[in-house]
Amino acid sequence: MAGDKAGFVSHDAILPVYDARSRVLILGTIPSPKSREAGFYYAHPQNRFWRVLSALFGAPTPSDTAEKTAFVLERGIALWDVLKSCRITGASDSTIKDAVVNDLSEIFSTAPIRAVFTTGVTASRLYQKHCRERYEHYGIPAFGLPSTSPANIGRYSLERLTAEYRAILNYL
Question: Is 47 in the active site?
Answer: yes
CB 62 within 8 Å of CB 68: yes
Count how many residues are written for the chain: 172
Torsion-angle region of 163 (φ positive above 0: left; ψ -120 to 50: alpha; else: beta):
alpha
Give all strands of the β-sheet with 83-89 in edge-to-edge order: 7-10, 83-89, 92-101
Torsion of CA 140, 102, 46, 55, to 10 degrees: 20
Q: Which of 47, 102, 152, 170 is catalytic?
A: 47
Q: Which of 53, 66, 69 is nearest to 16 (CA)?
A: 69
Task: Measure Cα distances from 134 to 17, 26, 128, 130, 141 in Å.
Answer: 21, 17, 10, 7, 13
Task: Measure Cα distances from 10 to 2, 7, 23, 101, 108 in Å.
Answer: 21, 10, 26, 11, 22
List residues with catalytic annotation: 47
